Structure 1
Amino acid sequence: MASPMSNVEEIRNRVVLGEFGVNNVHTTNFPGNYPGYDDAWDMRNFQENFRIDVVNTGDDSIEFDMVGIDAAMANAFRRILLAEVPTMAIEKVFIYNNTSIVQDEVLAHRLGLIPIKADPRLFEYRNTGEDDADGEGSEIDTIQLQLKINCYRNPKASKDSSDPQELYVNHMVYSRDIKWVPIGNQADVFADASIGPVHSDILIAKLRPGQELDIIMHCVKGIGKDHAKFSPVATASYRLLPEISLLESVEGEKAERLKNCFSRGVIELQDVDGRKVAKVVNSRLDTCSREVLRHEDLKNSVRIKRLRDHFIFSVESTGILAPDVLVTEAIKILMAKCQRFLNEIDSGEIK
């Protein structure tokens, strides 16, 4: 029989998914909310238990685990990824000529949302004071891009053709048509950098013969909480690590149904003396489905839980910075916030 202390520890460290609700959910994990259980915060215990495990990395995404932290810290890290890691994005659009059917303001908005491949760590924030009244910027805080293109009829097109791809030249304006125009010494400083749109196939506008675009764009450094165009991630999310336990042996046809109640790979069937027996293979793959609780003869055979301090992070970059760089930069920002808070305490600003 489980001791009272182990029951409290179970409540403190697990979230249980019940048939009609979620148990053991509290608005805070602050120490002292669980009577009879000593969960006072201790630096040594935190250092021993906290870890980051990188599970999977790719060119545009990364999956990693943060273990041994509070939900508030996990969410703070997620929000920093979304809104406080700086990037370069188009801020000012100077339209000298636009004879397309796309209105100037709509075109400017579309251009602003195109992710720009440029390392923001190599640039300064743009001065928005009186010194920037002319809007020119400089080589240390501005990237200048140009879109100059016109559409005309293809002289080699067949007379019987009705395909715009054959009839017209430059009738589809893509992000690859945007060119970088170096300012000052940028051509030398960023000689090895391919500054420009991250993706070359983003459709900007459609033209017909006689229509043209002549646009100059200024990219500046900013953060997502000022405008979504500066956000460096397509998605940044986390979920609690699933923990699935079988409370009794499940065999035969019941085992087949149990397997089908979960995501593929969570439960597999093993052959034991000619009998098919269900076994939990990889709880991590579970997607929080409670399908099994709809089966009267199965719902008491399994328990679905989540580890309260084990967070599975999934970060997908827009391509401006590599996902591992984004995570590193977010950690630096979080550390700077903590240091700033400590400095305010030491200076007496916070009592």
Structure 2
Amino acid sequence: MAPLVPSQEELQRRRIIGVNAETVTNIPSTDFPGHWPGESHGWALDQFKNDFKVEYHRNDPYEASFSLIGLDAAVANAFRRILMAEIPTLAIETVYVHNNTSVIQDEVLAQRLGLIPLKGSVEGINWMQWEQKAPGDEGSAAPELTDFNTVVMQLDIECTQNPDVADDETDPRKLYNNAHVYSKHLTFTPVGRQEQFFVGDGAIRAVQPDILIAKMRPGQKIEMELHCVKGIGADHAKFSPVATASYRLLPDIQILRPIIGEDAKKFAKCFPKGVIGLEPVTSEEASRAGSGYEGHAGEQKAVVKDAFNDTVSRECLRHEEFQGKVKLGRVRDHFIFNVESSGQFESDTLFLESVKVLKLKCARWKRGLNDLMA
């Protein structure tokens, strides 16, 4: 029996997930993603290249928004999980407290320091070695510290009285020197080959210089040595290179029957600003039989202007006057990603790193299959 060939209308229908007032429809359960019984769905690289698209909507240094079109949800979610948990980054791991007379306990201060995002030369950070932890090896001996796997930073600061302050001054930041300890007070000490990579603007430092670490008063002092290593977010959240990494499906809004006049204005208010626009009904539309605009020339009608910004709130489905006039949905293979970097890597670089990680995973899986078949 020859495989069925679905029409373009059927293929388009399958792409849309129906969003109703109380339910979500058209979510078929199949044995494999994109598979439909009775049809040929053999893998074809050329077909995938033709269907797959990447569209960038925003590409700032530390925040990017882009669309992946033509992928299955499993692959899109793999990228999201890799971005959050499997790209190695640099963070403070070990804190040696030589002196701490501030009011903050040693362990609390160490935890605060570990959560400060660091940045430096990307080339140097990629050059450094990542000591991957095996499950259950927490009690094993620590690796030898070298310039290849450890970055050393110092926090040496003391609060003193400011002799030049006015008598009526009450601001502690002016009354005292170093009353507030910030992330900019962390200093980097390169060792060995690190001097080749982490120099100038590429030196290891906090992403934001004004992250508050502690408050002190005269006579209090903090003296610490900090060891930074590479790790992944799966081991600890401080190693996660992103503040957020999320995706959503592209909204789909279809106006099935004309919405005119005051109803059109009310309909536009049911959506975020800019999603629904108001346009005058043309004389051609008003003269066309069966268009629904007969006798309404010049009146305002509702049109879908930019569904991308819609949040699919279903507000319009609550009103009786819009029943049967609008259909909401989401495109199942159009994923809108938003990636916000914590600062160590630029956001678009992070996504490329996630692709590399996924390729390595696939290569290891393929080698494992070959070993089983051997």
Q: Same fold by TM (over 0.5)?
A: yes
**1:168 is matched with which residue?**
176
What is the identity percentage for the equivalent residue pairs of Structure 1 and Structure 2?
45
**1:230 is matched with which residue?**
239
Residue 125 of structure 1 aligns with an amino acid whose one-letter code is: W
**2:87 is matched with which residue?**
85
So what's the TM-score if we normalise by structure 2? 0.87
Q: Are 1:157 and 1:166, in contact at CA under 8 Å, matched by a contact in 2?
A: yes
**2:157 is matched with which residue?**
149
- Relative to structure 1, the CA distance from residue 324 to residue 339 in structure 2 (aligned partners, 3 Å threshold; closer, same or farther) is same
Q: Distance in 2 between matches of 1:5 and 1:36?
A: 14
Q: Are 1:9 and 1:37, in contact at CA under 8 Å, matched by a contact in 2?
A: no
- Relative to structure 1, the CA distance from residue 154 to residue 136 in structure 2 (aligned partners, 3 Å threshold; closer, same or farther) is farther
1:73-99, Cα deviation, whole Å (9 max, x unpaired): 000110000000110000000011111
Q: Distance in 1 between matches of 2:74 and 2:110?
A: 37
Q: Are 1:32 and 1:40, in contact at CA under 8 Å, matched by a contact in 2?
A: no
Q: Distance in 1 between matches of 2:72 and 2:81?
A: 15
Out of 283, 295, 298, the residue aligned to residue 319 of structure 2 is 295
Q: Distance in 2 between matches of 1:72 and 1:201?
A: 39
Deviation for aligned residue 1:35? 4.8
- Relative to structure 1, the CA distance from residue 29 to residue 318 in structure 2 (aligned partners, 3 Å threshold; closer, same or farther) is farther
Extract unaligned runs of 5+ from structure 1.
Answer: none
Deviation for aligned residue 1:41? 4.3
Deviation for aligned residue 1:21? 1.1
* Runs ≥4 residues deviating over 4 A: 4-8, 26-29, 31-41, 127-130, 132-136
Out of 128, 145, 155, the residue aligned to residue 137 of structure 1 is 145
RMSD: 2.3
- Residues 1:49 and 2:51 aligned together: yes
Q: Secondary structure at the match of 2:372?
A: coil
Q: Secondary structure at the match of 2:321?
A: coil
Q: Distance in 1 between matches of 2:355 and 2:34?
A: 28
Deviation for aligned residue 1:101? 0.8
Q: Secondary structure at the match of 2:320?
A: coil
**2:18 is matched with which residue?**
16
Q: Are 1:32 and 1:38, in contact at CA under 8 Å, matched by a contact in 2?
A: no
1:157-178, Cα deviation, whole Å (9 max, x unpaired): 1222222122111000000000
Extract unaligned runs of 5+ from structure 2.
Answer: 1-5, 282-296
Q: Distance in 2 between matches of 1:31 and 1:136?
A: 47
Q: Are 2:90 and 2:118, in contact at CA under 8 Å, matched by a contact in 1?
A: yes
Residue 285 of structure 1 aligns with an amino acid whose one-letter code is: N
Q: Secondary structure at the match of 1:336?
A: helix
- Residues 1:179 and 2:181 aligned together: no
Q: Distance in 2 between matches of 1:26 and 1:216?
A: 57
- Relative to structure 1, the CA distance from residue 181 to residue 9 in structure 2 (aligned partners, 3 Å threshold; closer, same or farther) is same
Out of 110, 113, 118, the residue aligned to residue 112 of structure 2 is 110
Deviation for aligned residue 1:28? 5.6
- The 5 Å alignment of 1:216-227 reads 216-227=225-236
- Relative to structure 1, the CA distance from residue 70 to residue 155 in structure 2 (aligned partners, 3 Å threshold; closer, same or farther) is same
- The 5 Å alignment of 1:263-342 reads 263-272=272-281, 273-342=297-366
Residue 257 of structure 1 aligns with an amino acid whose one-letter code is: K
- Relative to structure 1, the CA distance from residue 136 to residue 206 in structure 2 (aligned partners, 3 Å threshold; closer, same or farther) is farther
Out of 122, 125, 133, the residue aligned to residue 127 of structure 2 is 122
